[in-house]
Amino acid sequence: MKLHKIFAASVLLASGLAASAKGTEAEMNAFINDLMGKMTLQEKLGQLNLPASDDIVTGEAKNSNIGEMVSKGEVGGVFNIAGVEKIRDLQRVAVEESRLGIPLLFGMDVIHGYKTVFPIPLALSCSWDMDAIERSARIAAEEASAAGIAWTFSPMVDISRDPRWGRMSEGSGEDPYLGSEIAKAMVKGYQGNLTRNDEILACVKHFALYGASEAGRDYNTVDMSRFRMYNEYFPPYKAAVDAGAASVMTSFNTVDGIPATGNRWLLTDLLRGQWGFDGFVVTDYTAIAEMIEHGMGDLQDVSALALKAGTDMDMVANGFVGTLAKSLEEGKVTMAEIDEAVRRILEAKYRIGLFENPYKYADPSRKNEIYTPEKRAEARRIAAKTFVLLKNEGDILPIQKKGTIAVIGPMGNTRANMPGTWSVAADLNNYKSVYEGIRDAVGDKAKVVYAKGSNLVADPRLEADVTMFGREMRDSRSEEELLAEAMEVAAGADVIIAAMGESSEFSGESSSRSDLRLPDVQKRLMEKLLATGKPVVMLNFSGRPTVMTWESEHVPAILNVWFGGSEAADAIADVVFGDVNPSGRLSATMPRNEGQIPIYYNHFNTGRPLAKDADKFVKFRSNYLDVPVTPLYPFGYGLSYTEFKYGDIALSSDSLKDGETITATVTVTNTGRRKGDEVVQLYIRDLVGSVSRPVKELKGFERITLNPGESRDVTFTITPDMLKFYNFNLEYVNEPGEFDLMIGPNSSDVTTVRFNLK
Ligand code: BGC
């Protein structure tokens, strides 16, 4: 009989916890001690090994490469196997064919949904709606677990201020506070209490600082002060750890000169020591082996370095399973170090109840929980909340369901491009395109016509590179032919919806770009569409903040739709026709040009700031000769089909003492004619300190819904804790003195009052 069965029977009998999937801490320790006592060194190293595989055929797992490794006890977990039957099959090999029957942990990059795909994380963050974000993670966990997955490599909480970096699409933008709130919501959504079979392990990534890669180039060097790490980049990771995230993934980059995967200060002193993390650390894909290229030694050296640093599981590099035995023999690592890592992996398996029921997450009868009408409806509602209305001159939007509506543009009739990067389980061709969504929404009330108008980019090589995951290929017609067709379609239309921007593969991993403007070929199409004199609404698809300076001057209405997931097309129609009033707010600054990058709202003042009213270049000030210092659209920005008016800020007191709180209240009124959501934002500036402090930092926000004419008082409670920061010695403190408190609809348009911390 295999161990898990013996365990289940004995522990359950001894403890009387017949219904519990898990024993107490002491029972867990006893069980793991006993198990580890039986394990050979190779079996131990096997637990630290995480290969990727999808080479198995259901029923044949045993005979696959991975199946052979599993039966020899060389594998602790596997990722990227899609399908509950295959997972069951391979789990059976682990449980029945390997010597000790230790169950496998099955992981996957379920980043923004499984089959029901939610908007890309950057878009989700623009909802500023924590319930919606938690809900998206919950649904992702329900679906992934119904497909056999027990562990997702999400949330990615890397702060980034560089939209050239393609992976901005996978994060929550530039702000540590918003990023931390989202990190917590996602961990909660995925993990719940980690008791039920639809609650899965989260993995916070990429630890750490991956979003600060130099020049926005993926995998590039990171170098920053500890002061900045603690104050600006660490908070979301810490928030996720505090929320109980079960695992952490190392990043590819160096941190203070040492690759994260081999950085003991980062993984042990900080993560476990200072933050009290008690889960396990997995590397990013081949990150151990990549330390060879970083110049840290050969595979044996870097594997030992990773283990000693605090890495527990090796994703794909074969460093642990391949070299640690030799390192042990040569005294380069200790048995205690290996055991510590093994214990952490076994604990994770134990905690989610895999020893009691290895098939807990592989219940084929749960298949009908995936991609249900209810879940899709939720994804549609959430997607509509993420779109950011950047401009709406003459109230072109919402458009009416009448006459002839033309959908034109390379993103107009593509299904596969709707869900966005990291839609690993998506059925790309099942989702509706914009054209189909608009057509279905109008029914027989209007005529909807379509033309592609242009390819995504003029250079066929670039388009081929970014369509590697089977997204639609380019149109073989010439630019002139595509344009001619579009002009003919436009001629018969009353209004034009221009679906433009980036394709899915223009963002995400290994998709950095240096030119963030609309590709020339699309701009030429846009110019022609505008020249028709007809109302033009631009839907901007993007996986990052793009440069929209030209559009902001020429296109009357712009709705940034990011990549909205499986239900994006219907959600777009909901907003375009006004069934839903747009309410997304930017979670990252939109620059005027790439030269402004990095540009972010919570910057320092410098000794030479530009005067507030200066809109032109001023010599010897911190600004540019050729472009204003301000962003095109600031952090927190987004319009609505209605308007909101903010009253004055009422402070309960202008003096705050330790152990007390004060409140700041503002009355917000919907002065327009439609019901709408506003995201009321609170910023604070510490005016004098022992270190320089940012010009403002987000400290709170509230999303409210107001009917036309309705007013609501929004109250924020200010606590001394909210004023804390890491000082020069990295102590988390607040310092008495004056603070500016700002409230407004975005980070630029704020009203300010002052208070004192005594
Ligand atoms: C990515 C991670 C991902 C991993 C596994 C890596 O290339 O950086 O974010 O979780 O692959 O697919």
| Entry pTM | 0.96
Q: How many Å lie between the centroid of ligand 1 and the Cα of residue 323?
A: 23
pLDDT tens track for 348-388: 999 999 999 999 999 999 999 999 999 999 999 999 999 99
Helix 520-531 × helix 479-491 angle, to 10° = 30
Least confident of 106-115, 267-276, 330-339, 458-467: 458-467
**What single-letter amino acid sits at 472?**
E
Cβ atoms within 10 Å of 80's Cβ, excluding its own: 14
Residue 467: predicted pLDDT? 58
Q: Give the residue, out of 53, 80, 108, 109, with the most ligand 1 atoms within 8 A of its beta carbon, to mutate for a pocket test.
A: 109
Give the residue, by CA position, lying nearest to ligand 1 atom 12: 109
Q: What is the mean pLDDT of residues 413-419?
A: 92
Residue 740's DSSP bridge partners are 685, 754
Q: How many Å lie between the centroid of ligand 1 and the Cα of residue 413?
A: 29
pLDDT tens track for 16-64: 323 334 579 999 999 999 999 999 999 999 999 999 987 788 889 999 9
Q: What does residue 144 show for φ and ψ, rounded to 5 degrees? A: -65, -40
Residue 113: predicted pLDDT? 98
Q: How many Å lie between the centroid of ligand 1 and the Cα of residue 283?
A: 9
Nearest C-alpha neighbor of 750 from the set 758, 737, 740: 740
Whether 167 lines ligand 1, by a CB cut-off of 6 Å, is no
pLDDT tens track for 208-259: 999 999 999 999 999 999 999 999 999 999 999 999 999 999 999 999 999 9
Report the topology of domain 379-576: Rossmann fold (3.40.50)
For residue 470, pLDDT over 70 is answered with no
Contact 205, 284 (CB under 8 A): yes
Q: What is the mean pLDDT of residues 333-344?
A: 98
Q: Please, where are the H alpha helices in 434-504? A: 434-442, 460-466, 479-491
Q: Which two tokens stand for residue 105?
A: 């942990």
Q: Which two tokens stand for residue 568?
A: 């994006």
Give the residue, by CA position, lying nearest to ligand 1 atom 4: 285
Residue found under tokens 């006004």? 578
Q: What does residue 254 show for φ and ψ, rounded to 5 degrees? A: -85, 150
Residue 53: predicted pLDDT? 87
Angstrom distance (rounded) from CA 616 to CA 610: 9
Burial (CB count within 10 angstroms: exposed 0-12, middle 13-18, buried 19+), residue 478 = exposed
626 is catalytic: no
Angstrom distance (rounded) from CA 192 to CA 248: 17
**What single-letter amino acid sits at 435?**
Y
Q: What does residue 508 show for φ and ψ, rounded to 5 degrees? A: 95, -165
* 707 or 428, which is more confident: 707
Correct CATH for 642-757 of 2.40.50.200, 2.60.40.10, 3.10.180.10, 3.60.15.10: 2.60.40.10
Q: Give the residue, out of 157, 252, 284, 286, with the most ligand 1 atoms within 8 A of its beta carbon, to mutate for a pocket test.
A: 284
Contact 612, 715 (CB under 8 A): no
Q: What is the mean pLDDT of residues 719-732?
A: 98
Contact 290, 315 (CB under 8 A): no
Among 129, 175, 284, 570, the active-site one is: 284
State the closest ligand 1 atom to the C-alpha of 156, by its place in the atom list counted from 1. 9
Give the residue, by CA position, lying nearest to ligand 1 atom 7: 285
State the closest ligand 1 atom to the C-alpha of 205, by its place in the atom list counted from 1. 9
Q: Which two tokens stand for residue 123?
A: 């878009």
Percent of the chain with pLDDT over 70: 96
151-152/711-718 β-pairing: unpaired
Residue 9: predicted pLDDT? 35
State the closest ligand 1 atom to the C-alpha of 203, by its place in the atom list counted from 1. 10
Q: Which two tokens stand for residue 224?
A: 């920053």
CA count, 13 A, side-chain hemisphere, 568 = 39
For residue 187, pLDDT over 70 is answered with yes
Residue 12: predicted pLDDT? 33
Residue 613: predicted pLDDT? 74
Give the residue, by CA position, lying nearest to ligand 1 atom 10: 153
pLDDT tens track for 600-645: 999 999 999 998 777 789 999 999 999 999 999 999 999 999 999 9
Whether 205 lines ligand 1, by a CB cut-off of 6 Å, is yes
Q: Which two tokens stand for residue 51?
A: 């290969």
Angstrom distance (rounded) from CA 156 to CA 210: 10
pLDDT tens track for 478-507: 999 999 999 999 999 999 999 999 999 899
Would you call 739 helix, strand, or coil by DSSP? strand
Residue 614: predicted pLDDT? 77
Would you call 220 helix, strand, or coil by DSSP? coil
Residue 254's DSSP bridge partners are 259
711-718/644-646 β-pairing: unpaired
Nearest C-alpha neighbor of 519 from the set 471, 453, 561, 459: 459
In the chain, residues under CATH classification 2.60.40.10 are 642-757
End-to-end CA distance of the chain: 67
Q: What does residue 113 show for φ and ψ, rounded to 5 degrees? A: 105, 165
Q: Over the chain, what is the mean pLDDT?
A: 94
Q: What does residue 138 show for φ and ψ, rounded to 5 degrees? A: -60, -45
In the chain, residues under CATH classification 3.40.50.1700 are 379-576
